[in-house]
C-alpha cells in the first residue's frame, strides 16, 4: 500500500456500501449502487471498458503467499517496498530484518515475514487487503493515459482505492482495494 490510505471497507449492507450519492450539476440527486464484492466491481469495470482488456492478475492470498511476495519485493528493491507499503511497525520490522540478515535465503526471509505478518494481524494491523479478499491486482488498462484516467476515476467513483504499481518487481499492475 502507498502512503495514501485506501478507502474504508464497508460492511456489505451499510449505507456506504449500498449506494453512493452522485449529483451532476443541474440534476436531482441520484443513487448508484456499489457492486457487492471486489470481483463484481472488476466485472463492472470490464463491462464498462471492454477495450481496456482489464484482467485480474492477483486475488486473495494466504499469509504465506503474501509473505513471499513482500519478501521478493523487499529483497529486490528496498525503495519500491517502502514506497508500496504504508509506513507501519510490521513494515519497519520486515525492512530491518532483511537489512540485518543480508545472507538469508529467500525461504528464510519468507518464514520471518510470515511470523511478522501473523503477529501484526494478531495486533490488529491490516497488512494487505489481499489477506481478507478485499483486494485484486489487475492489468493496467490498455489504451492511452486518458482512458486509463477514466478507468481509475470509475474505480474510485464506485468506492475503490487504486494504487498504480507500474514499476512493481512482479510486473506492472494496478492494486485495487475495495
Q: Are residues 73 and 118 in the same domain?
A: yes
Q: How far apart are CA 58 and CA 13, in angstroms?
A: 26
For residues 50 and 138, state if they share a domain: yes
Residues whose CB is less than 8 angstroms from the CB of residue 148 and which lie 6 or more positions away in sequence, other chains included: 52, 140, 141
List pLDDT tens digits, range 35-56.
999 999 999 999 999 999 999 9
Asked whether residue 10 is domain-assigned, the answer is no
Provide the 3-class DSSP secondary structure of residue 121.
Answer: helix
Are residues 72 and 98 located together in one domain of the fold? yes
Which pLDDT tens digit goes with each residue over 71-91? 999 999 999 999 999 999 999
Mark whether 95 and 141 lie in a shared domain: no
User: In terms of residue numbers, what domain contains 19?
Assistant: 15-59+129-177
Nearest to 55 by CA among 149, 173, 162, 177: 173
Q: How far is CA 44 from CA 27, 34, 155, 169, in A?
A: 24, 10, 9, 28
Count the neighbouring beta carbons within 10 Å of the beta carbon of residue 85.
21
Amino acid at each position: 500500500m502507498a502512503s495514501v490510505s485506501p478507502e474504508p471497507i464497508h460492511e456489505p449492507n451499510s449505507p456506504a456500501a449500498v449506494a453512493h450519492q452522485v449529483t451532476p450539476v443541474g440534476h436531482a440527486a441520484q443513487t448508484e449502487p456499489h457492486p457487492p464484492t471486489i470481483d463484481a466491481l472488476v466485472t463492472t469495470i470490464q463491462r464498462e471498458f471492454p477495450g481496456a482488456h482489464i484482467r485480474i492478475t492477483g486475488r486473495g492470498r494466504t499469509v504465506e503467499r503474501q509473505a513471499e511476495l513482500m519478501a521478493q519485493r523487499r529483497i529486490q528493491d528496498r525503495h519500491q517496498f517502502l514506497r508500496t507499503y504504508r509506513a507501519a511497525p510490521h513494515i519497519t520490522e520486515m525492512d530491518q530484518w532483511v537489512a540485518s540478515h543480508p545472507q538469508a535465503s529467500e525461504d528464510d526471509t519468507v518464514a520471518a515475514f510470515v511470523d511478522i505478518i501473523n503477529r501484526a494481524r494478531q495486533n490488529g494491523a491490516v497488512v494487505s487487503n489481499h489477506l481478507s479478499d478485499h483486494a485484486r491486482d489487475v492489468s493496467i488498462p490498455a489504451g492511452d493515459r486518458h482512458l486509463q484516467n477514466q478507468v481509475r476515476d470509475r474505480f474510485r467513483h464506485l468506492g475503490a482505492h487504486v494504487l498504480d504499481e507500474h514499476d512493481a518487481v512482479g510486473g506492472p499492475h494496478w492494486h485495487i482495494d475495495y
